[in-house]
Amino acid sequence: MLEQQLLNALTLGSVYALFALGFTLVFGVLAVINLSHGAVFMVGSYAALAMVSHLNAPLWVAMLGAMVVSGTIGLLVDVLVLKPLRARNAPHLIPMIATIGVGIMLTSAAQGLFGAEVLRFPEDVMPAGEFMVGDVHVRALEIAIVAIAFLLMAVLFTILKRTQLGRALRAIAESPKAAYLLGINVEGLFHITSFVAAALGGIAGVLIGLNFNAITPFMGQPMLHKGIAVIILGGMGDIRGALIGGLFLGFAEVISKAYLSSQMGDAVAFGLLFLILLVRPSGLFGRKLERKA
């Protein structure tokens, strides 16, 4: 029934938004489409699972751990792959192709380490508790997911709008050369952004992993496609767009699955993406792809 679906949509959409935020952050600041974002999402999930299962860590510690692990991978990708390409002034498509390779390597590694079967979080670790609000069945887990997602997004928004760091990032997004001339440590901020973005992807992975209680090495791929759909919908490089786009996609998907068919639900993301690209490539809030040097 509708309210139940709305709850599902909110849960899913908030994580989509979180994931897309990391993605769009890298695009806005580094001007790179990092197609390994789906893979770090998946890595975050496995990292949390490993900490919970093998280190007996409480869930919230595992979540932080996942963010650190994913963030570190994002940082390494920036330092080892993206930085040399920046130095070379490589055209836009080249870093994107390289990140495709990174994503594939991470997925393959995960498959090698953990196998291809679906893994689950241990029973006792998941937040238990469910209750009824009117006719709607609410799980404590869903509340936790939405709360965490929105909390992180709120922190990110605040940093971007209200702090010196945020101003510096926005300056770089406008023009890295100008920012550099203003004395901003552009390279350092590139590294930090890559770390934070991947960390957001990682925690999104944990949240989705918990929500569906299913972790596989291949979960990153469809998520990446949804992330792409979200940022194109909302506009590449736009933070509000990622939030609104994510919620919208969650909504569209859940409604399609509930009232049309499950398969249509999968196709929705791509159909939307395709349509938007044809009609209004810059998305709801986006700006042009090329920015001043």
Please give the residue ranges that form the binding site for another protein (CB under 8 A).
33, 81, 84-85, 88, 90, 92-98, 100-109, 111-112, 221, 225, 228-229, 232, 263, 266-267, 270-271, 273-274, 277-278, 281, 289
Q: Which is nearer to another protein, 57 or 187 (CB)?
A: 187
**Which is closer to another protein, CB of 64 or CB of 104?**
104
CB of 88 to another protein, least distance (A): 8
CB of 123 to another protein, least distance (A): 31
Q: Which is nearer to another protein, 11 or 107 (CB)?
A: 107
Complex with another protein: residue 124 or 290, whichever CB lies closer: 290
C-alpha angle with apex 43: 264 to 246, nearest 5 degrees? 40
> Cβ 183 to another protein, closest distance in Å?
29
Q: How many CB atoms within 10 Å of residue 93?
A: 9
For 148-180, b where at least 16 C-beta lie within 10 A, e where not — what string?
bbeebbeebeeebeeeeeeebbebbbeebeebe
E strand or H helix at 130: strand 130-133
Asked if 77 and 34 count as a contact pair (C-beta separation under 8 A), the reply is: yes
Q: Could you give the CA distance from residue 287 to residue 170 in angstroms, rounded to a whole number? A: 14
- For another protein, the closer CB: 131 or 274: 274
Q: How far is the CB of 264 from another protein (least distance, A)?
A: 8
Minimum CB distance to another protein, residue 221 (Å) = 7
For residue 30, the number of C-alpha atoms closer than 13 Å in the C-beta half-sphere is: 33
**188 burial via Cβ count (<10 Å: 0-12, 13-18, 19+):** exposed
